[in-house]
Amino acid sequence: MPSLSATDRARLPDSAFAYIDSQGRRRLPINDVSHVRNALARFDQVDFEDDVARERARERLLRAAKKHGIVPLGFFDGQLRKARGANVRSLPRGTVTFLLTDMEGSTRLLERLGDDYTALLRDVRTTIRASVRESSGYEVDARADEFFAVFRRATHALEAAVAIQRALRDKTWPQKADVRVRIGMHTGRPTLTETGYVGIAVNIAARVCYASHGGQILLSSAAHDAFNERLAEGIAFRSLGRYSLHGLAEPEALFQVNAVGLITKFPRPRTIGPLRSRADVT
């Protein structure tokens, strides 16, 4: 580790460190080339207070690497291998419930917000990730404005979905942007491989998510049938009928989650097939 005495450390500004915790402790010095290389190597050994702090430190460290002309290929590869390997080993097997989210109008938001979009996307992802974890879920993947999670129990997935929509509804966004995510849920028995889940269950979950609108939570028929216990107070299911979804041979029955405080009126699902039947159930 590069030499840095306590006196020299105290003289450095906060900007010379990748991470400063809530108690003012400064970690991972990045004031010169040697310290940046050391910080890259030690990043995974640091305990961060939350995902926001971790991502902020990561961005600061990568900016420092760019400043000093360091190409952190090993850092990127190590991060990906560690995340993928640990993640897959911890994922549940057997019958599970998938939850997929997708931000509505993300391209328009990017064009409107410019540099503010990156922070907004990070805030949305942090909010979703927190709701998933608090409901005993597992993060499978997060790419661009999409998020993929899995749950052992359908009730926990529903708790997370409602929590996500309520949390995003209550936030104040840059430039008064209207931020909404689509949420789709499906229950099935996928195959878990070294690279993640595969099988028709994943495809159905993705199609159900695609069919939804911003602020809406849609369930497949299998996800709806997985609920064999009483729903929480203020939550009900509304049958929307059967629709032909992109890439699926058979029409799929879709159910909307109605919850206190959330939007309940939406256009018809974004599908390729006509409405077959309609009824309201709880």
pLDDT digit string (tens) for the chain, length 282 residues: 556 777 878 888 888 888 888 888 888 888 888 888 887 877 777 788 776 777 778 778 877 877 776 655 455 444 444 445 546 778 999 999 999 999 999 888 988 998 888 889 999 999 999 999 999 999 988 877 889 999 999 999 999 999 999 999 999 999 999 999 999 999 999 998 877 888 899 999 999 999 999 999 999 999 999 998 889 899 999 999 999 987 788 899 999 999 999 999 999 998 865 444 444 333
Q: Which helix (H) or strand (E) holds 28?
A: strand 26-29
CA distance 270 to 250: 16
What is the pLDDT, as a whole number, of residue 77? Answer: 44
What does the buried/exposed string (b/e) look like for 225-255 if buried means 16 or more CB atoms within 10 Å of the residue's CB? ebbeeeeeeebbbbbbbbbbbeebeebbbbb
Using a cut of 0.85, tell me whether the model's pTM lies above it: no
CA distance 64 to 75: 13
Query: Are the CB atoms for 254 and 217 separated by under 8 Å?
Result: no
If one counts every other C-beta atom within 10 angstroms of the C-beta of residue 83, the result is 14
Grouping H, G, I as helix, E, B as strand and the rest as coil, residue 102 is strand
What is the pLDDT, as a whole number, of residue 197? Answer: 87
Grouping H, G, I as helix, E, B as strand and the rest as coil, residue 217 is strand
Q: What DSSP state is assigned to residue 55?
A: H
Query: Are the CB atoms for 148 and 141 separated by under 8 Å?
Result: yes
Provide the pairing of β-strand 181-188 with 146-151.
unpaired
Q: What DSSP state is assigned to residue 259?
A: E
CA distance 84 to 89: 9
Q: Per-residue pLDDT tens for 168-180? A: 999 999 999 999 9
Give the DSSP letter string of 57-85: HHHHHHHHHHHTT---HHHHHHHHHHHHH
What is the pLDDT, as a whole number, of residue 57? Answer: 82
Per DSSP (E only), the strands in 61-173 are 96-103, 138-143, 146-151
Q: Which helix (H) or strand (E) holds 117?
A: helix 116-134
Nearby residues of 231 by Cβ (< 8 Å), 6 or more positions away: 158, 237, 282
Q: What is the rounded radius of gyration, in angstroms, for the C-alpha atoms of the chain?
A: 22
Query: Which has the closest alpha carbon to 256: 219, 206, 205?
Result: 219
First to last CA, the chain: 62
If one counts every other C-beta atom within 10 angstroms of the C-beta of residue 76, the result is 12
